[in-house]
Structure 1
Amino acid sequence: MDIIATLAEELGLKKMAVQAAVDLIDEGNTIPFIARYRKEATGGMDDVALRALEDRLAYLRNLEQRKEDVIALISAAGKLTPELEAEIHAAEQLQRVEDLYKPYRKKRMTRASKAREAGLEPLANMIIMQVATKCTALEAAAEYVNEEAGFDTPERALAGASDIVAEVVAEDAENVADLRSFTEGTGEIVSLAVDADEKTPYEPYYDFAEPVRKIPNHRILAIDRGEREDKLRVRVRVDVDAAIARLGSRWPRRSGVFAPVLDAAVADGYKRLMAPSLEREVRAKLTVRAQMDAIKVFGKNLESLLSARPVRGARIISLDPGYRTGCKVAVLDETGKLLDHGVVYPTPPRRDVAGTKRELARLAKKYAINTIVIGNGTASRETEEVVSEFISESDLALRYTIVNEAGASVYSASALASEEYPDLDVTTRGAMSLGRRLQDPLAELVKIPPQSIGVGQYQHDLDQVELARTLGNVVEDVVNRVGVDVNTASASLLGYVSGITPTVAKNIVAYREEHGAFTDRGQLKDVPKLGPKAFLNCAGFMRIAGGDNPLDATSVHPESYAVAREVLNRAGVTAADLAHGGIPDIEKRVGSVSALAGEVGCGVLTLLDIISELEKPGRDPRDNAPEVVFSKAARTLDDLEVGMELTGTVRNVVDFGAFVDVGVHQDGLVHISKLSRSFVKHPSDVVAVGDTVKVWVERIDRERGKISLTMVPNK
């Protein structure tokens, strides 16, 4: 297989660009670096396209290696034919390679293998070929009786030969492929309750059936979980008679004495050997499909969350609500530095509302606070009511918002948090984390394992290795898209920069603590274990504000500084002018970009990126994200009415809809059917985490605390 040609055809890319991308990956360059700084070579592939190419490349290389391994194994057994070798080489999927290898794979002793050892294979061949004979099948089998091997009667000899036939039928690659297609096309997933009287979340699946080809991913994951928890019994239902007839039609049909024996062996081969294996395959395939889709949705949600707009200039009182132990308070300046901390008790059992308001007023005045942040966990509703009353009663210019606290406890109790703030207790660290999530979501959330951030579904049921890999790639892509300030970034954030390992990230922090702030990107080369390759991959994403070289504050890579200086010279400005907000009209000043590219020896795509960066140095792509919605007054479930129009923030996107925060403790669900008047294939096609949306209340279940919303107006 020509892997490069295959990739180019499958992904709709030019062969030359694919070859260049593969070479760059093989050289140890990171996806963010290739996407940003090697556009000419790859034809401008972005990080999404490059990730897809990288994954498919790994699969195809694994496929080719497996082909060679299988060919070697079959050859060693002395059973490789030119035709079989050609079939293996032509295989386009691992499943096909395994199907072809199955008859030759070493296996435990089976009924068929015992029959073969007893010398019954010639009789099995007679059954398969429907050899014409004047005697009966039992009379033919009598010649193969083997008392020592346990086939001491014609009946047992015929049964042994039939077992061989059944195994041949079940292991034939073409039969397997055909019946697999039949099962996937006509089968049904059926689930029944283990105890029909027990109340569980899986009641919708107590007597459930849906075609394999139609069942959506979220139902697969729900059924799988119900089975694991021993609440459901699940199977794949197939028309057995139709399957056997289909399998039988693949063999020569004659009316001789062996015809009924062949029919029985085919039926046995399907029922005993093929059906259980195909059922496991279909179930596994559905689970993998559902998990991969859930991981993809998780990644998309995480990308939206990490790309949320920072709230700059926010001086914050951050509240982590609680009941018995009170509400933890952390006061932060606009850079996230801790100014003060303590505890207030606005909730039961103490419910010291007056004392809470006095303390909030004291802190707000002392530290010039303009924003209050409230975690959305336990006691959030009661805390929000007190904060809302406090703001409406005071003459202070304050606003508040609810922050998703998923993962805050994971961070606050982590070794990283203990290392960063050894003198603070767990609760104060958690309150600090909530406030910083508003100020800079990306910088704070990278400290938490992506799986713990709570923007997916069934995350504990997913392949944890693949989930971690995918989410890690998402974080890496977002961090490098935004860039980091090398003098302020935490080791957690630096660890996601292209080419930087966690160890090197810690070394960068240690270096600046020992030597002071970096003033030049070149100093990164002095950091222990940050070699030339790492520098090449990371330098463009590391920003140094106020350093010796104004270009260090931009995303222009040091390898292109000479080109950038020539562009500035053509525009009649200097690098020092970048400190004043850039040169907005620089593209107009330099004239023809293509002509300039030829003169300075730079690719057009790279030159356009340089010019764009010089127009507005260090631009933050997150500034294009929706603004955070702040509240002025609290709203309870009792305040809601059917038909009420609300503005909310999308907190999570799942296969069946989107959860929207509309200012009450419970997020409301917009079902996929209510996202748009037109057909929606997946909710992520319409909304993303962090979006501000207009919704209408459709139904309120006050007893269960559930809110159904719609994004489709009545008119």
Structure 2
Amino acid sequence: MEKEDKVLDAREASEGKTKIVQTAAQKAQTQGRILKQISAELQLPQAKVKTTMDLLDEGNTIPFIARYRKEMTGELDENELRAIEERLQYLRNLEERKLEVIRLIDEQGKLTPELQAAIEQAGKLQELEDLYRPFRQKRKTRASVAKERGLEPLAAWVMTQPKQGNVLAEAGKYVDEAKDVPTPEAALQGAMDIIAEQIADDAKMRAWIRRYTHDNGVVRTEAKDKQLESVYEMYYAYQEPVKRLPPHRTLAINRAEREEVIKVALDVTNDKIHDFIGRHYIRGESIVKSTLTLIIEDAYKRLLAPSIDREVRGELTDKAEEHAIRIFAENLRALLLQPPVKGKIVLGVDPAFRTGCKLAVVDDTGKVLEIAVTYPTPPNNKITEAKAKIKQMISQYRVELIVIGNGTASRETEQFIAELIKEVKDSGTLKETGAGTGVGTGVGTGHSRKLEYIIVSEAGASVYSASKLAQTEFPDMDVSERSAISIARRMQDPLAELVKIDPKSIGVGQYQHDVTQKRLEESLTGVVESAVNHVGVDLNTASPSLLSHVAGVNGTIAKNIVAYREEHGKFTNRKQLQKVARLGAKAYEQCVGFMRISGGENPLDGTPIHPESYGVVDALFQELRLELRQLGSQPLRETLQLLEPEALAPKLGVGVPTLRDIVDSLQRPGRDPRESTPLPIFRTDVLKIEDLVAGMELHGTVRNVIDFGAFVDIGIKNDGLVHISQLSDSFVKRPMDVVSIGDTVTVRVLEVDMKKGRVSLTMKTQ
């Protein structure tokens, strides 16, 4: 789809597109056509689609529509709304292209009512371009050269398919040395080239052959050098029907071809294609039948086959890219919505060999308490000094959790940390002797606070550390020190930290570097926006990075919010947002419901309830004889649990979905939706691959989900793989239907490959 848009833009630019103005009636007709098509494609009622289109045209954002305009859209969810938005943009671009194609053909004097109707009914850009193909200006071709030599009349004569006469005698009439047509054979060849191009440009022929090739073609791959060892060895002699080629295999083949490891061909039986074209172009016996047969074979082999092959493979790639982007998006959302680990002092470790392990202690709010570097790993092996430094930090700041990045030297560092934790526990330094003052401090003599570790993905940490944002946040630190802080903080609040990183760098996808980057970026930006607005942001603590993803807020407004906060102090009510520079009425309407103020003047400002509904809350409290100060109390929750929104909504003058959301927000004010997700597994000791045996049961954390299964962190160097066939006792079509990133799962060891360091796991109970 993205590639089609690029083709559209390029062609419009190259043809000097001029804006075509439609009448109101024509616009309404176009809008109606788009509405019907979206409704049919997405199987949604036209009324819901129409309302959504209108809301989008008014400048409303998807998160705002999904949350606060449920009555208007019939409670369409975010995915349905984004699908409407995407198709609306595509089809409007398509309609613009239709107008341009009609204009270009009309200027040539070749536009017929039938052709115009076909153009207007085209549902895809490919269909439209097929129709336009015969009229598009081409580079120099054999057919265009023949036309310049005056051979079109001869081509027209051949197409009359005369039953009597002599072909070469007729061709001899066009011999002209001045026009470089020296012989009857040369004249006939020129006419044949003209007809071959006409066949290749026939929209109906192209559509049928494209579909036939997709349904009956076979993709074959062959190694350029069979002696070369590579990760693509399965494709050194491989074949698979086009229609069965799965998305991840399409992208793998494309990459191997791009790296010049393999050659790729698309094979299809020619005979049926020749017969199909012949049935449309050959009308019984004639003196040119054998000539037409040769023309058809040439048209397919020289013009149609290479073009159709590119289009079919392009279509495969487009679908594969859409699939890969969807996987990345789902994984990213799951990662962003991981539960925050609250109330813990965290030591972040960015491991390395030569340059040492960078350390960062952050308090439970993410504030940096100390930065250091130690060298416990080869080649330095300063283990004693490293242990002394880290023990001092653990004791001084009452560290409860050590977070290790999973990059270079991570498992060596893990071994070191596990030994250190055992020594700390054995030494009794985790025993608290009094009430204390720090997080994790025990109450009473003899209480032990926990000390555990976890390995987290450090994907994107280096990208963030070298960014302008990180330089602004920590101007006096070097790149590696910032990376250790990022690793620590992404455990405390994954969403707040990961939004600082380009989503493409987070690394939870499959072949993300092989897809159209603009399309990927658009999709992932939408995921981040969705996640941020799903959780909401604290207006008084959120960073500009986090604020910039709130509905209606851009980078400039986000910085202005922080600047206002720094100048005037904490926000005490949502209305103060209206005083922020460049935050106008529309932006305020879109963003304010997703902004939270804890301990503000109005308790409702700490909930997802939009200010436009505060009057409904007042009426509800009057009806129930409750007071706002009771917000969060057990009596209020019990009263609201008995409420029937369907019965009360008409009385309050509000829709049932909105009242339902209001009641839910009043029952759990300040609730973080991520809290319902289980926390990740924390460890105190190392598990080695040598410790594993078949049948062993383990608990692990899902790190990545791809087409063929899920990778699970079970505490060894490399994540174990649960193949799709081992995810459940029942059949699994999509791994994401069973597991998501961050899930805590119970697995059993199936097989251990010590040589390759691979572990096969199963989640089956049998």
Q: How high is the TM-score relative to the length of structure 1?
A: 0.97
Distance in 2, matches of 1:101 and 1:663, equals 59
Aligned to 1:328: 358
Question: CA offset at residue 579 of structure 1?
Answer: 5.3
Distance in 1, matches of 2:602 and 2:154, equals 86
Question: CA offset at residue 499 of structure 1?
Answer: 0.3
Distance in 2, matches of 1:588 and 1:328, equals 51
Where does 1:107-146 land on structure 2 (aligned, <5 Å)? 107-133=138-164, 135-146=165-176
Unaligned runs of 5+ in 1: none
**Correspondence 1:523 to 2:554:** no
**Correspondence 1:187 to 2:217:** yes
Question: 1:232 is matched by which residue type in structure 2?
Answer: I
Q: SS of the residue aligned with 2:657?
A: helix
**Correspondence 1:688 to 2:740:** yes
Distance in 2, matches of 1:10 and 1:582, equals 48
Aligned to 2:22: none
Question: CA offset at residue 708 of structure 1?
Answer: 2.0
Question: 2:304 is matched by which residue type in structure 1?
Answer: M
Question: CA offset at residue 250 of structure 1?
Answer: 2.4
Aligned to 1:698: 750
Distance in 2, matches of 1:96 and 1:548, equals 59
Question: 1:657 is matched by which residue type in structure 2?
Answer: G
**Correspondence 1:94 to 2:125:** yes
Where does 1:54-93 land on structure 2 (aligned, <5 Å)? 54-93=85-124
Distance in 1, matches of 2:167 and 2:340, equals 82
Question: CA offset at residue 582 of structure 1?
Answer: 8.9
The 10-residue stretch of structure 1 (699-708 or 416-425) with the greater mean CA deviation from structure 2: 699-708
Where does 1:21-40 land on structure 2 (aligned, <5 Å)? 21-40=52-71
The 10-residue stretch of structure 1 (389-398 or 28-37) with the greater mean CA deviation from structure 2: 389-398
Deviations along 1:379-422, one digit per CA (max 9) or x if unpaired, are 11122122222223313321211111111111111110110111
Where does 1:628-667 land on structure 2 (aligned, <5 Å)? 628-667=680-719
Deviations along 1:649-692, one digit per CA (max 9) or x if unpaired, are 11111122211111012111222222223332222122111111
**Correspondence 1:612 to 2:612:** no
Match 2:420 to one of 390, 396, 402: 390
Aligned to 2:495: 442
Aligned to 1:593: 645
Question: CA offset at residue 361 of structure 1?
Answer: 2.6
Q: How high is the TM-score relative to the length of structure 2?
A: 0.91
Q: 1:572 to 1:356 in 2, by over 3 A?
A: farther
Distance in 2, matches of 1:237 and 1:540, equals 56
**Correspondence 1:380 to 2:410:** yes
Unaligned runs of 5+ in 2: 1-29, 431-449
Question: 2:540 is matched by which residue type in structure 1?
Answer: N
Deviations along 1:102-149, one digit per CA (max 9) or x if unpaired, are 11111123221222233322322232232221x221122222333322
Aligned to 1:425: 478
Q: SS of the residue aligned with 1:257?
A: coil
Question: 1:73 is matched by which residue type in structure 2?
Answer: L
Question: CA offset at residue 376 of structure 1?
Answer: 1.2
Where does 1:444-459 land on structure 2 (aligned, <5 Å)? 444-459=497-512
Question: CA offset at residue 581 of structure 1?
Answer: 7.6
Distance in 1, matches of 2:162 and 2:697, equals 79
Question: CA offset at residue 694 of structure 1?
Answer: 1.5
Aligned to 2:614: 561
Aligned to 1:571: 624
**Correspondence 1:624 to 2:676:** yes
- Contact 1:139-1:154 within 8 A present in 2 as well: yes
Identical pairs, percent = 52
Aligned to 1:240: 270
Question: CA offset at residue 632 of structure 1?
Answer: 2.4
Aligned CA-pair RMSD: 1.6
- Contact 1:550-1:579 within 8 A present in 2 as well: no
**Correspondence 1:268 to 2:321:** no
Distance in 2, matches of 1:137 and 1:117, equals 21
Q: SS of the residue aligned with 2:250?
A: helix
Distance in 1, matches of 2:194 and 2:281, equals 15
Q: SS of the residue aligned with 1:139?
A: helix
Distance in 2, matches of 1:677 and 1:422, equals 53
- Contact 1:586-1:615 within 8 A present in 2 as well: no
Distance in 2, matches of 1:121 and 1:269, equals 17
Deviations along 1:276-330, one digit per CA (max 9) or x if unpaired, are 1011111111111111110110000000000111111121111111112221111
- Contact 2:621-2:627 within 8 A present in 1 as well: yes
Question: 1:465 is matched by which residue type in structure 2?
Answer: K
Question: CA offset at residue 252 of structure 1?
Answer: 3.0
Q: SS of the residue aligned with 2:179?
A: coil
Q: SS of the residue aligned with 1:317?
A: strand
Match 1:215 to one of 245, 262, 266: 245
- Contact 1:141-1:154 within 8 A present in 2 as well: yes
**Correspondence 1:199 to 2:229:** yes
Question: 1:334 is matched by which residue type in structure 2?
Answer: D
Distance in 2, matches of 1:443 and 1:630, equals 21
Aligned to 1:228: 258
Question: CA offset at residue 700 of structure 1?
Answer: 2.1
The 10-residue stretch of structure 1 (184-193 or 142-151) with the greater mean CA deviation from structure 2: 142-151
Deviations along 1:623-651, one digit per CA (max 9) or x if unpaired, are 12232111121111211222222111111
Q: 1:99 to 1:657 in 2, by over 3 A?
A: same
The 10-residue stretch of structure 1 (245-254 or 660-669) with the greater mean CA deviation from structure 2: 245-254
The 10-residue stretch of structure 1 (691-700 or 298-307) with the greater mean CA deviation from structure 2: 691-700
Deviations along 1:323-346, one digit per CA (max 9) or x if unpaired, are 122211111111111111212222
- Contact 1:193-1:233 within 8 A present in 2 as well: yes
Question: 1:461 is matched by which residue type in structure 2?
Answer: D
Question: CA offset at residue 580 of structure 1?
Answer: 4.8
Match 1:11 to one of 15, 27, 42: 42
Question: CA offset at residue 541 of structure 1?
Answer: 0.2
**Correspondence 1:289 to 2:319:** yes
Distance in 2, matches of 1:626 and 1:294, equals 27
- Contact 1:385-1:634 within 8 A present in 2 as well: yes
Match 1:492 to one of 522, 532, 545: 545
Q: SS of the residue aligned with 2:185?
A: helix
Distance in 2, matches of 1:189 and 1:283, equals 9
Aligned to 2:604: 551
Match 2:725 to one of 669, 673, 686: 673
Distance in 1, matches of 2:411 and 2:521, equals 33
Distance in 2, matches of 1:168 and 1:605, equals 58
Where does 1:503-514 land on structure 2 (aligned, <5 Å)? 503-514=556-567
Question: CA offset at residue 181 of structure 1?
Answer: 0.9
Q: SS of the residue aligned with 1:707?
A: strand
Match 1:157 to one of 175, 178, 187: 187
The 10-residue stretch of structure 1 (676-685 or 193-202) with the greater mean CA deviation from structure 2: 676-685
| Segments of 4+ moved more than 4 angstroms | 579-582
Distance in 1, matches of 2:218 and 2:38, equals 34
Q: 1:582 to 1:481 in 2, by over 3 A?
A: farther
Distance in 2, matches of 1:532 and 1:515, equals 21
Pairs aligned (count):
712
Q: SS of the residue aligned with 1:373?
A: strand
Question: 1:634 is matched by which residue type in structure 2?
Answer: V
- Contact 1:581-1:616 within 8 A present in 2 as well: no
Question: CA offset at residue 159 of structure 1?
Answer: 0.9
Question: 1:455 is matched by which residue type in structure 2?
Answer: V
Question: CA offset at residue 588 of structure 1?
Answer: 4.5
- Contact 1:376-1:665 within 8 A present in 2 as well: no
Distance in 2, matches of 1:244 and 1:506, equals 64
